[in-house]
């Protein structure tokens, strides 16, 4: 009824409330409940741009920290020196993480910049990079889905 009257914002809000109600149903299987919870957490069922941005930055920052902590290197630094050496010097890694189309060689170059011997990534780091690309792409999709509410035509 809202869409017939070209009231897309209220139609989207009603759609979101329908999903919220469906999430609380007892007869819903666990996979559907999981999908609805992820959609609720990431962009409030298409109604919150802020939640979509939060999703993107949480995935990016969490992956950044996981990749930094999993990188090999000398750990005999004091905390402030380690922080500067790993966080500030590898800040370009965050931009590579935010680009789901970035090449794996970019990650390898950034993470192994201070190493002289073995310049390869571990399986765990490859897995983090792979899952991060999927998560960031999904976050961008959630952002676009939440942003569409301003441009939908009935």
Q: What is the pLDDT of residues 28-86, one digit of tens each?
A: 777 777 777 777 766 665 667 888 888 899 999 999 989 888 876 655 666 677 677 77
Q: Is the confidence at residue 153, as pLDDT, over 50?
A: no
What mean pLDDT value characterizes the chain?
76
DSSP string computed for 20-83: HHHHT-TT--HHHHHHHHHHHHHHTTTT-HHHHHHHHHHHHHHHHHHHHHHS-----S-HHHHH
**pLDDT score for 70:** 84
Q: Which two tokens stand for residue 27?
A: 């007869």
Proportion of the chain above pLDDT 70, given as a percent: 66
Distance CA 143, CA 154 (A): 21
Q: Is the confidence at residue 114, as pLDDT, over 90?
A: no
Instruction: Pick 149 or 1 by higher pLDDT.
Output: 149
Number of helices (H), then strands (E), belonging to the chain: the values are 7, 0
């Amino acid at each position: 009824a809202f869409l017939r009257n070209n009231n897309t914002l209220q139609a989207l809000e009603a759609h979101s409330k329908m999903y919220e109600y469906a999430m609380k149903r007892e007869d819903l299987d666990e996979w559907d409940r999981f999908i609805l919870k992820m959609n609720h957490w990431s962009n409030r069922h298409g109604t919150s741009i802020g939640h979509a941005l939060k999703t993107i930055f949480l995935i990016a920052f969490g992956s950044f920290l996981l990749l930094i902590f999993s990188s090999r290197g000398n750990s005999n630094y004091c905390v402030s020196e380690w922080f500067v050496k790993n966080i500030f010097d590898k800040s370009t890694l965050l931009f590579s993480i935010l680009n789901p189309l970035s090449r794996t060689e970019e990650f390898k170059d950034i993470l192994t910049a201070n190493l002289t011997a073995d310049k390869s990534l571990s399986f765990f780091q490859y897995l983090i990079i792979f899952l991060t690309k999927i998560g960031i792409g999904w976050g961008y999709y959630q952002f676009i889905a939440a942003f569409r509410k301003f441009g939908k035509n009935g």
